[in-house]
Structure 1
């Protein structure tokens, strides 16, 4: 069995090897190490960039992440590091993590990120989904309210369907809007849930979309338990997204929206 280590046993940001940290960052060719150390804004941006390079699997508000040895969590008071005895042991980790609700964030630092993540998901049933971060001509964002939280429109990929088509279809169905145009792929997020006595993992491919229609009327898909579908000004997002999922925060951050929740 591998070992659990509280983050307190790991060096914090002030003593972290910043040269190694920026080696995987877009800042490495632009700023000197000294300038980064002296600039709190750059430090924050680098940490955010590095953390999003991880493979994160969400369990509601908790997460299990695979990261490189240079990308260990920095000054995260909720972090626990896990050192597996072997890569095959990792397949049982989702079950173990699910039964450890006191652990908020579990990190697996490794030199084999891809192999470790593949092994981590090997006992899970996979589902592919597509979703959209939609803005209109006023710069407003389209969000939905479902199961007591604010969310983004997304849904399961149908057999034989291209994932981009899935994403557009789901936004249209869940919000009652059309005239959607995909601008770019933002990111993929992973979250798990238990159903029929087994674990499922849903990989959602997120796309940045433009709404080019004239009206702002929406029709929430009540059969999918969606109570509201609303357009929200960027400056008002924080008021809504204080009640959302960590994976949704990740999507907004990936698009360049800083929420500071």
Structure 2
């Protein structure tokens, strides 16, 4: 199953029809995907499932209907085991950004962490899941697919937020403070930390 967030509300791409009645189920063959996304975006639908026996076919169709933006991001630990967060648009987030021509996705993730936070001396320690969300820019819906990497950094300076990207604060959070930060974060970021908990039970 894929979870695609539209305006922070989930659209499940699934090959199973579940019996829950709290969200609507749409069939890939008969749905207008763009119209469905508009309805979720406008809060007319709060969560929905898009069904087809082959989940990959649903993702393929979604990518064909909506332009894709590929991005890379980092869940970065320092030597003390703290995690790097940025504060932008009123929420705690993790550093990430779009890939540049000819750049590997790992290279994108490391460059974006450094540009958005000033934190360098990075090394990738784990490949994490991809997250999916739909956003609207200049009246056009786009599907952002973010490839996430767990990283370690030996940086010991003071992080600096990239102001022209709207980053107001950069902070290292101790593991015990992360749940509080996640209360004011995005659903995709919460998903990442669910995965991270299974890798690092202390989080």
**Contact 1:60–1:245 (8 Å) recurs in 2:** no
Match of 2:26 in 1: 83
Q: Which of 37, 52, 64 matches 1:94? A: 37
Q: CA deviation at 1:240?
A: 1.4
Q: 2:68 aligns with which of 126, 132, 147?
A: 126
The answer as to 2:164 corresponding to 1:223 is yes
How many residue pairs end up in the alignment? 200
* Contact 1:81–1:109 (Cα < 8 Å) also in 2: no
Offset of residue 87 of structure 1: 5.8
For the 8 Å contact 1:216–1:231, the answer to whether it is kept is: no
Secondary structure of the equivalent of 1:249? helix
1:190 maps to 2:141: no
The Cα of 1:197 is off from its aligned counterpart by 2.1
Find the structure with the greater CA-based Rg: 1
3-state SS of 1:111 partner = coil
The answer to whether structure 1 residue 56 and structure 2 residue 3 are counterparts is: yes
Question: Displacement of 1:216 after TM fit?
Answer: 4.6
Aligned counterparts of 1:86 and 1:244: Cα–Cα separation in 2: 34
TM value normalised by structure 2: 0.89
The structure showing larger relative contact order (alpha-carbon pairs under 8 Å, at least 6 residues apart) is 2
Secondary structure at the aligned position of 2:148 is classed as strand
Structure with the largest fraction of helix: 1
Q: Is the 8 A contact 2:28 2:58 kept in 1?
A: no
Q: Please, which of 165, 173, 184 is the counterpart of residue 232 of structure 1?
A: 173
* In structure 2, C-alpha distance between the alignment counterparts of 1:146 and 1:96, rounded to whole Å: 26
Higher strand share: 2
**2-side partners of 1:228 and 1:187: how far apart?**
25
Aligned-residue Cα RMSD (Å) equals: 2.2
Instruction: Say if 2:191 is the partner of 1:250.
Output: yes
- Does structure 1 residue 139 correspond to structure 2 residue 81? yes
Q: What is the DSSP-based 3-state SS (H/G/I as helix, E as strand, rest coil) of the residue aligned with 2:65?
A: coil
Provide, for residues 157-196 of structure 1, a one-character-per-residue CA deviation record: whole Å limited to 9, x for no partner.
0011100000000000101010000011101111111122
Q: Note if contact 1:155-1:170 (Cα within 8 Å) is conserved in structure 2.
A: yes
- Give the secondary-structure state (helix, strand or coil) at the position aligned to 1:161: coil
The answer on 1:67 being equivalent to 2:10 is no
Q: CA contact under 8 A between 2:7 and 2:41: conserved in structure 1?
A: no
* In 2, Cα distance between equivalents of 1:247 and 1:219: 24
What displacement does 1:113 show? 0.6
Unaligned segments of structure 2, at least 5 residues: none
Shift of 1:112: 1.3
Give CA-to-partner distance per residue, 1:97-151, whole Å, 9 cap, x none.
Answer: 334x142221124311110121123221111100000011111000000011000
- In structure 1, the gaps of 5 or more residues are 1-53
